[in-house]
Amino acid sequence: MQLAISGPFRALRHKNYRYYWFGQAISVIGSWMQNMAMQWLALELTNSALLLSIVTAIEQVPVMILSLFAGEILDRKQKKRVILITQILLLFFAFVLFLITYTDVVQYWHLVVLALMRRVVTTFDNPARQSYMIILVGKEDLPNAVGLNSMIFNLAKIIGPAVASLVISTVGIEMCF
């Protein structure tokens, strides 16, 4: 059953895309919360702008290397399965970050390793999500779905860090993970 939605939100008339879109919004906001919290935590642990920038820069290495091959690899895989696996891995990494921060055993090297691992996974997750949209909405609504997805990413860059700052200041940094 499709809703009678038209205009700039017409891709949301597809039930499965609506589920995907709202879930994606929550996931991307959470990712930006984690990014900000990891950077804040790196600065708290080291009091070094250089070491903070290393945590941030290390995330770009997998993108530079693996993104060249990710699309080709993903073309041979079931997109839904890849998305499920990558989301489970990202949930696991978030739980590890929460646990080591909550128990106060977190060290700088943990952040470096987890930042690298998170980015390896998202290097495969992002193109899998992009290529999965056509399955959810078809060719006719694909441009609109891509636009709505871009809207989520851009709004999440604002909302995620803002929510993270509120969470850090009220209940603690571990809750961002």
Is position 20 within any domain? yes
Asked if the model's pLDDT at residue 7 lies above 80, the reply is no
For residue 45, the model assigns a pLDDT of 96
DSSP string, 11-57: GGGSHHHHHHHHHHHHHHHHHHHHHHHHHHHHHHHH--HHHHHHHHH
Asked if the model's pLDDT at residue 3 lies above 70, the reply is no
For residue 21, the model assigns a pLDDT of 93
What is the domain extent for residue 46? 14-176
Choose the most confident range, by mean pLDDT, from 77-91, 95-109, 132-146. Answer: 95-109
Is position 153 within any domain? yes
For the chain, the domain total comes to 1
Is position 165 within any domain? yes
Residue percentage of the chain with pLDDT more than 70? 97
* Vertex 61: Cα angle to 173 and 49 (nearest 5): 45
Residue among 1, 3, 16, 4 nearest 145 (CA): 16
Asked if the model's pLDDT at residue 170 lies above 60, the reply is yes
Q: H/E element holding 12?
A: none
Is position 118 within any domain? yes
Confidence of residue 161 (pLDDT cuts 50, 70, 90): very high
Residue percentage of the chain with pLDDT more than 90? 73
Region 114-138: what's the mean pLDDT?
91
Is position 108 within any domain? yes
Is position 139 within any domain? yes
For residue 143, the model assigns a pLDDT of 92
Region 137-146: what's the mean pLDDT?
92
Query: Any idea which of 57-71, 107-121, 137-151 has the lowest mean pLDDT?
Result: 57-71
Is position 138 within any domain? yes
Is position 158 within any domain? yes
Region 124-149: what's the mean pLDDT?
91
For residue 1, the model assigns a pLDDT of 56
Rounded CA-CA distance 74/123 in Å is 11
